[in-house]
Chains A and B, each alone.
Chain A
Amino acid sequence: MKDLIFLTYSEIKTKLNDGSLKSTDLVSAYINRIEGTDSKVKAFLELNKDRILKQAEESDGRRKSGKLLSEFDGIPIGIKDNICITGEITSCSSKILENFRSPYDATVIQRLKDKGFVFFPRLNMDEFAMGSSTENSAYQTTRNPFDTNRIPGGSSGGSAAAVAASMLPVSLGSDTGGSIRQPAALCGIWGLKPTYGRVSRYGLVAYASSLDQIGPFSNDLQGISDLLEIISGLDHKDQTTAKVNPFEANSISSIDWKGKRIGVMKAEEFNFSPDVNKRYADILNELKSKGATLVPLDFSLLKYAIPVYYLIATAECSSNLSRFDGIRYGLRKEGAGKLEDLYSESRTAGFGPEVKRRILLGTFSLSSGYYDAYYGKAQKARVLIRKQYAEFFKSVDIIFQPTSPTTAFKVGEKTKDPIQMYQADILTTSVNLSGVPAISCPAGLDSSGLPIGLQITSSHFDETKLLSYAKSVSELEICKLALPTEIT
């Protein structure tokens, strides 16, 4: 029998339900894997074995007595350290929330609990989800399971690396400018950013509220569609959740490429790393040979996406993170004489350099004299980007792009230069700005054995179409890759 940890999500689900696998055996196998491997990967900030095993035992008990909560009962899932679970620490990989135990469940957690999932919390991330490499965690730098000298991407680097290193089959992350899709691409797994408004943000510690969205990572596509069905839907605790038709996992089916109009980047616009360029061109050629029509789109607005993203995201973060003031929860720097000093001393001690940089940029762009030129202008530019996507979908069925301009870079390679780091999100941020859904699909390995990702984007709330295309991509030989068994 295949080692339990190397089972796909679908195999796990089948085996749990046909009685050939117990949740405790599966969970124990993952705990062993984590204990043997995570010293190299550093995906977990904490591993509460007793609590996790107890949940698995309860699930097996329900299965034995015929009181299963759902067909998902007993499936393990990793949770990024910015999604609240009652009684667990939710630190956002920041010192300012080092000891914060959440008094409530995020809506997504409540929905997963109702189905009987077993939680592995506290997956490492860039502090407050600000970064593209997971090097901005206040605690540890997560490593790429394909090459531990390299970064896993970010900000949900722990969630992606845990799945890629076969320490879990599925996990949740959050995506504000690419934080699910980029690490999924660099770690060779599936990662979905749902349409803005599809999934409740209640209990997700806010970074940039108009862009943030929770989404799943998985070692197969079924895990993505199942999790999306479970976590999505209207929630009166998040007023930005949309009243739309619910997503149904069984609505996904492979598509016939013949006659499909696929929006692609113009050859002169994809000046990415040679291996990424070549794989992208090869995939497009294959789709063409299967009868799809390639439609070059004008992505010239894209060059504004990162500046627009950084202005809007940092403005929202400077406002959202003002709640961390040392008063009601989180770190308080004792000894401050005055209230004002307590605020600034607690915040100065609690936040890391990138978080401070972004709070300062956001405060600057919202401040008197700069508002119109920066924040106001960025808001209008965002409208143009949104309209651009609406225009695209009048002429194409779907859009295919690489997810990341390069494969995983080395730890430390870009930390000195914030602008260079920001460029890692060039292909992902415009998706958040327009609110549409996008998925990163594994697209094979480059010449050094590192994963490449393919980003597929559809129109608002059309995840059924998005994931149907993804299913067809998963059937292409050129996109197949195997996750590493030994982590060195």
Chain B
Amino acid sequence: MDEKELKNIANLAKLNIEDSEVSSMLNDFSRIVQYVDEIKNLDTTSVGDDEIYEQIFYELRKDLAENGLKRDDLAKIAPSYENGYVVVPKVIET
């Protein structure tokens, strides 16, 4: 893992990394990756792709309409809200 790769991952995760943080983050990150690399020593060839999803006794609910959260309640928790809409910075250039 190098600085370029770290910044690429951070960009995918929508996190900014300050230049002053890069070296300590790279250090932590390489150690963690080295640690989880241990699983490469485990032979998993006996496990089929279809076994990954556990058998659970799922019960589907009835397909009925129910009241969900009210628009007014959602307006109260939104950082910026006007006329029934959440306000965001301009997305499309005109």
Q: Which residues from chain A sit less than 8 Å from chain B, CB to CB? A: 100-101, 103-104, 197, 234, 236, 239-244, 301, 303-304, 307-308, 310-311, 318, 322, 325-332, 336-345, 347-348, 351, 356-357, 359-361, 363-365, 367, 373-374, 377-384, 386, 418-419, 422, 435
Q: Among the listed B31, B69, B79, which residue makes an inter-chain contact with A326, where contact means beta carbons less than 8 Å apart?
A: B79
B65 → chain A closest CB, angstroms: 13
The contact sample of 11 A-B pairs, CB cut-off 8 A, is A103-B77, A236-B62, A239-B61, A242-B59, A307-B39, A311-B36, A344-B16, A351-B15, A356-B15, A359-B15, A363-B13
Question: How many angstroms between the C-alpha atoms of A161 and B37 in the bound complex?
Answer: 35
Q: How far is the CB of A436 from chain B (nearest CB, A)?
A: 12
- Asked whether A384 and B80 contact (CB < 8 A) given A310-B36, A361-B29, A419-B32, the answer is no
Q: A326 to B15, alpha carbons, bound, how many Å?
A: 13
Contact A380 B44 (CB under 8 A): yes
B interface residues (Cβ-Cβ under 8 A, vs A): 6, 9-10, 12-16, 25, 28-29, 31-33, 35-40, 42, 44, 46-47, 51-52, 54, 56-62, 69-70, 73-74, 76-80, 86, 88-91
Closest residue of chain B to A301 (Cβ to Cβ) is: B42
Contact between B36 and A384 (Cβ–Cβ < 8 Å)? no
Q: Assuming A307-B35, A364-B9, A418-B31, what are 11 further A-B pairs, CB within 8 angstroms?
A: A197-B57, A236-B62, A239-B60, A327-B86, A344-B15, A357-B28, A359-B13, A360-B10, A380-B51, A381-B39, A383-B51
The interface centre, meaning the residue of A332, A342, A380 with most chain B CB atoms within 10 A of its CB, is A380
Q: How far is the CA of A303 from the CA of B37 in the complex (A)?
A: 12
**Cα distance, A255 to B62, chains bound together (Å):** 41
Say whether B89 contacts A339, CB under 8 Å: yes
Given A236-B61, A374-B36: A332 touches B79 (CB 8 Å cut-off): yes
CB <8 Å contact, B42 and A381 = yes
- Give the A-B pair count, Cβ closer than 8 A: 150
CB neighbours of B91 from chain A (8 A): 339
Please report the C-alpha to C-alpha distance between residue A331 and residue B80 in the assembled complex, in whole angstroms: 11
Residues of A contacting B54 in the complex (Cβ-Cβ under 8 angstroms): 386, 435
Contacts of A329 in B (CB 8 A): 74, 77-79
Q: For chain B, what secondary structure do more than half of its interface residues adopt (helix, strand, loop), or is it mixed?
A: loop
Q: Is the CB of A378 within 8 A of B56?
A: no
Q: Is the CB of A367 within 8 A of B9?
A: yes
Q: A339-B88, A418-B28 are in contact. Are A377 and B16 (CB under 8 A)?
A: no
The answer to whether A303 and B38 touch across the interface, beta carbons within 8 angstroms, is yes
> How distant is the Cα of A244 from the Cα of B36 in the complex, in angstroms?
35
- Which residue on B lies nearest to A102, using beta carbons? B77
A326: chain B residues within 8 A (beta carbon): 79
Contact A103–B76 (Cβ < 8 Å): yes
Taking a contact as CB atoms closer than 8 A, the residue among A100, A242, A338, A374 that contacts B57 in the complex is A242
Are A384's CB and B42's CB within 8 A?
Answer: yes
Contact check, A336 vs B89: say whether CB atoms are below 8 A apart. yes
A377→B44 CA distance, assembly (Å): 7
- B15 → A minimal CB distance (Å): 6
- Residues on A with beta carbons closer than 8 Å to the beta carbon of B90: 339
Say which residue of A101, A244, A330 sits within 8 Å of B79 (CB atoms).
A330
Report chain A residues within 8 Å CB of B69.
Answer: 103-104
Q: Which of A357, A363, A373, A384 contacts B32 (CB 8 A)?
A: A357
| Residues on B with beta carbons closer than 8 Å to the beta carbon of A328 | 74, 77-78, 86
Given the known inter-chain contacts A101-B76, A419-B32, please indicate yes or no for A367 contacting B86, CB distance below 8 A.
no
Which B residue sits closest to A435, measured CB to CB?
B54
| Chain A residues whose CB sits within 8 angstroms of the CB of B77 once the complex forms | 100-101, 103, 328-329
With contact pairs A243-B57, A311-B36, A386-B54 given, residues A348 and B79 touching in the complex (Cβ less than 8 Å): no
Nearest-CB residue, chain A, relative to B13: A363
Contacts of A345 in B (CB 8 A): 16
| Given the contacts A325-B14, A326-B79, A356-B15, A373 and B40 also touching, CB distance less than 8 Å | yes
Q: In the complex the two chains form, is A360's CB within 8 Å of B13's CB?
A: yes
For B16, the chain A residues whose CB sits under 8 A away are: 344-345, 348
Candidates B9, B14, B38, B58; contact of A344 at CB < 8 Å = B14
Q: A101-B77, A343-B14, A379-B52 are in contact. Are A360 and B9 (CB under 8 A)?
A: yes
